[in-house]
Amino acid sequence: MSGELLTKSKIADALGTNPMRVTRFIERNKINTVKKEGKRELFKLTDFNALKNELNEPEAKEKAQSHSFSKDDYILTLKKQLEDQQKQFDEVLKSKDETIDSLKETIATSKHAYEDMKDQLTVKDNQITALTKLTNNAQTLNLVDKDPKRLQTAQGNAETKVEQSSSEKGVDNNQQASESEKPHKKHWWTWIRNN
């Protein structure tokens, strides 16, 4: 067995200690690996004679026992780590749920604001339409004030006919007035009578 290449855990089993103690011994004494198989590092057992001697001393045995971990200790440590990770996971989930609820509220508020803006735009569109009509009416009135002939165009044919009939009446009245203004023609017999 002394010429065999062993992993840290096999060396620890052979020496009756834990793998952590073997790792610390390797680092302290700068022992090089003889061979690597993937991630596994292999060492000669003979390189650990000094560690074997340390472990055989009575004080070292007590230290080794105080530093060694039993399987139950490993299990308890792992359970504690799992509980801590579960708590962190639960906190992350809770935070995620709160974030989702907050985003839902933000979306609802934005949707409400969007609907309000749509309503306001509809009101503004109606106001613009009304203002456009008023502006067109004001422009039409302004043009009529400047050029009354456009009023005839704006009012249509019905009013034009009314104006034509009134102008015809004016012509008849003018003819009657011109006839009454003419001097009466004097006949020959009225001259004789007067003399």
Largest Cα–Cα distance in the chain?
190
For the purposes of burial, counting CB atoms within 10 Å of the CB of 60, is it exposed (0-12), middle (13-18) or buried (19 or more)?
Answer: middle
- The verdict on residue 12 lying in a domain is yes
Q: Does residue 26 lie in a domain region?
A: yes
User: Is residue 12 a contact partner of residue 28, using CB atoms and an 8 Å limit?
Assistant: no
Lowest mean pLDDT of 23-32, 71-80, 89-98, 150-159, name the range.
Answer: 150-159
In a domain, residue 63? The reply is yes
Look over the chain and give the mean of its residue pLDDT values, rounded to a whole number: 77
Specify if 148 maps to a domain. Answer: no
* pLDDT above 60 for 113: yes
Structural domain span for residue 63: 5-68
Higher pLDDT, 157 or 87: 87
Per-residue pLDDT for 122 more than 60?
yes
Q: Where are the alpha helices (DSSP H) in the chain?
A: 8-15, 19-29, 49-56, 58-67, 71-146, 149-155, 157-181, 188-194
- Asked whether residue 32 is domain-assigned, the answer is yes
Under a CB-based contact definition with an 8 Å cutoff, are residues 45 and 4 in contact?
yes
**Strands 5-6, 35-37: parallel, antiparallel or unpaired by DSSP?**
unpaired
Is residue 29 in a domain?
Answer: yes
| Residue 22: CA count within 13 A, CB half-sphere | 25
Considering only residues 186 and 127, tell me which one the structure prediction assigns the higher pLDDT.
127
Rounded CA separation 44/1 (Å): 9
What pLDDT, in 10s, does the model give residues 124-167? 889 999 989 898 888 888 887 777 665 566 556 555 555 555 55
Structure tokens at 176: 């009657």
Indicate the DSSP class of residue 45: G
Q: Is residue 58 part of a domain?
A: yes
Residue with tokens 């001697």: 53
Q: Is residue 37 part of a domain?
A: yes
Domain count, the chain: 1
User: Is it the case that residue 10 has pLDDT exceeding 80?
Assistant: yes
| Cβ-Cβ contacts under 8 Å for 154 (sequence gap 6 or more) | 140, 144
Distance CA 138, CA 186 (A): 63
User: Residue 176's pLDDT is what?
Assistant: 57
CA distance 20 to 18: 6
Backbone angles phi, psi at 7, to 5 degrees: -80, 170
Confirm if 68 and 18 have CB atoms less than 8 A apart: yes
